[in-house]
Chains A and B, each alone.
Chain A
Amino acid sequence: MFQGIIMADKSKIGMEFPAYTISVEKNKIAEFAVAVGLKDDKEQIDPIYYDEEAAKKAGYEGIPVPPTFMTSLFFWTGQGLMGIVKALGIDLGKLLHSEEEYEYFGNIYEGDVVTRKMKVVEMYERGKRDRIGRFVDVTVLETEIINQRGELVVRVRSTMMER
Chain B
Amino acid sequence: MAIMYDDVKVGDTIPTYTSVPITRTHLVRYAGASGDFNPLHHDESFIKMIGLDNVIAHGMLIMGIAGEAITTWIDKRNLRKFHARFLSMTEPVDWNDVENTKNRATIIISGKVVKKYKENGEKRIQCDIVAKDILGSRKLSGFFIAALP
Residues of A in contact with B (beta carbons under 8 Å apart): 28, 31-32, 34-38, 46, 48, 58-60, 64, 66-68, 71-72, 74-76, 80-81, 92-93, 95-104, 107
B38 near A81 (CB under 8 angstroms)? yes
Interface string of B92-108 (1 = CB under 8 A from A): 00000000000000000
- With a CB–CB cut-off of 8 A, which chain B residues contact A95? 38
Q: Is the interface of A mostly helix, strand, loop or mixed?
A: mixed
B121 nearest CB across to chain A (Å): 14
- With a CB–CB cut-off of 8 A, which chain A residues contact B50? 93
- The interface on chain B, measured as residues whose beta carbon lies within 8 A of the other chain's beta carbons, has a size of 37
Instruction: Compute how far the CA of A102 lies from the CA of B79 in the bound complex, rounded to whole angstroms.
Output: 9
Complex: chain A residue closest to B143, CB-CB: A101
Interface string of B26-48 (1 = CB under 8 A from A): 10011011111110000000100
- With a CB–CB cut-off of 8 A, which chain B residues contact A28? 33
A112 nearest CB across to chain B (Å): 14
Interface string of B6-44 (1 = CB under 8 A from A): 000000000000011010001001101111111000000
Instruction: Compute how far the CA of A75 lies from the CA of B70 in the bound complex, rounded to whole angstroms.
Output: 24
Asked if A100 meets B83 with Cβ closer than 8 Å, knowing A38-B26, A68-B63, A81-B38, the reply is yes
